[in-house]
Amino acid sequence: MSQQNASSFSPSLDEGLSGATRVYFIVGDPIAQVRSPAGVTGALRAAGRDALVVPAHVAPADLPAFFTGVMPMRNVDGVIITVPHTFSAAEY
């Protein structure tokens, strides 16, 4: 992952997104109550990383398909796992 000067990134999600932006997913079911994507994205950007956290509402039955789709994505640097996937996601 390339790093740039922290001052070159806006903490706003409206600015600074490009084809070089790194993506982290936070996966859960439900996911609407999760507040961490904005805070973690802000911290990443404040640290000079061109990255953002995207919430993904994934039902337990769809978790294998989610990982099948995400694994070949070269701009995805990680997946944050929340309930109910905490243990079932370990196989991926």
CATH number (domain holding residue 46): 3.40.50.10860
Does a structural domain hold residue 37? Answer: yes
Does a structural domain hold residue 1? Answer: no
Does a structural domain hold residue 52? Answer: yes
Is the pLDDT reported for residue 41 higher than 80?
yes
How many independent structural domains does the chain possess? 1
- What residues does 3 pair with on adjacent strands? 49
Residue 51: its pLDDT value, please?
94
Is the pLDDT reported for residue 7 higher than 90?
no
Q: What is the mean pLDDT of residues 61-81?
A: 97
pLDDT confidence band for 18 (50 / 70 / 90): confident
Q: How many CB atoms lie within 10 A of CB 1?
A: 9
How much of the chain, in percent, has pLDDT values that exceed 90? 73
Q: Which domain holds residue 75?
A: 6-91
Does a structural domain hold residue 12? Answer: yes
pLDDT confidence band for 17 (50 / 70 / 90): confident
Token reading at 36: 């961490």
Does a structural domain hold residue 67? Answer: yes
